[in-house]
Amino acid sequence: MNKNIIIIGLGPKLGFAMAKKFGENGFAVGLISRNESALKERATLLQGQGINVFYHTADAYYKDELEAAISALKKKMGIIDVLFYNAAGMKRKNLLSEETDDLVNDFRLNVAHVFHSVQYLLDDLRQTKGAVLLTGGGFSLNPNHEFGSLSLGKAGLRNLALQLNEALKEDDIYVGTLTINGHIQEESDLYSPSILANMFWEMYMSRIDAEIRY
């Protein structure tokens, strides 16, 4: 029986590489992104490679939109085996220039809606003894005030991943985060999307480490 992965945050780099990697290994992929035209284009590319693709637009800043998108994909795909959360507030802004409300909104996207997505899919993940994979970042270990909100978000995400890994072990659900200490670029010898997707695949297959720092 084929397995199903939902990818929240289908960007042109890592999100797309993850869809390709898991799709090539027999997964049907459900894609969520806020940019409908880009989402359709990437879905078409994946379908052209023989991958079974479903998609739904949503802005992960908004919980109701995100939940509706996950629900719509579940109705088309069935039970979900893997959740990959790749959405983040990728902005360069000095911490002292931030507004409190903006920090709160970014925290929802970067951390709280990860938690909500896991909660929403928890019955599926228990049934499939599935996995949650999270895109971490070096700012979680070495914060930068020029990326103040993102640094806070990645720190919170790392903390959440470690907690969930312990909390869900008794349900045989694996939770892992790849803490990426570099800039994702197509031609990079270290941080290309395909290299990182391969690392996530190895984490998923081994189901050992709550965190890999790379």
pLDDT(1) > 70: no
Nearest-CA neighbor of 117 among 85, 150, 76, 88? 85
Q: Fold for 3-213, please state it.
A: Rossmann fold (3.40.50)
Nearest-CA neighbor of 124 among 30, 33, 60, 50? 30
The predicted structure's pLDDT at residue 98: 96
% of the chain surpassing 90 pLDDT: 97
Residue range 126-178, pLDDT digits in tens: 999 999 999 999 999 999 999 999 999 999 999 999 999 999 999 999 999 99
Contacts 24+ apart (CB under 8 A), 208-212: 209/176, 210/161, 210/162, 210/165, 210/166, 210/175, 210/176, 210/177, 211/136, 211/158, 211/161, 211/162, 211/176, 211/177, 211/178, 211/179, 212/176, 212/177, 212/178, 212/179
The predicted structure's pLDDT at residue 111: 98
How far are the Cα atoms of 63, 72, 156, 171, 188 from residue 78, in angstroms, in the given order?
21, 10, 30, 20, 36
The average pLDDT across 106-114 equals: 98
Alpha carbon distance 208, 67 (integer Å): 29
* Burial grade of 103 (CB within 10 A; 0-12, 13-18, 19 or more): middle
The predicted structure's pLDDT at residue 17: 98
For the chain, the domains span 3-213
The predicted structure's pLDDT at residue 18: 98
Q: Is 110 helix (H, G, I), strand (E, B) or coil?
A: helix
Residue recorded with tokens 């000095």 = 94
The average pLDDT across 76-103 equals: 96
Alpha carbon distance 112, 204 (integer Å): 23
The predicted structure's pLDDT at residue 102: 96
Alpha carbon distance 126, 130 (integer Å): 7
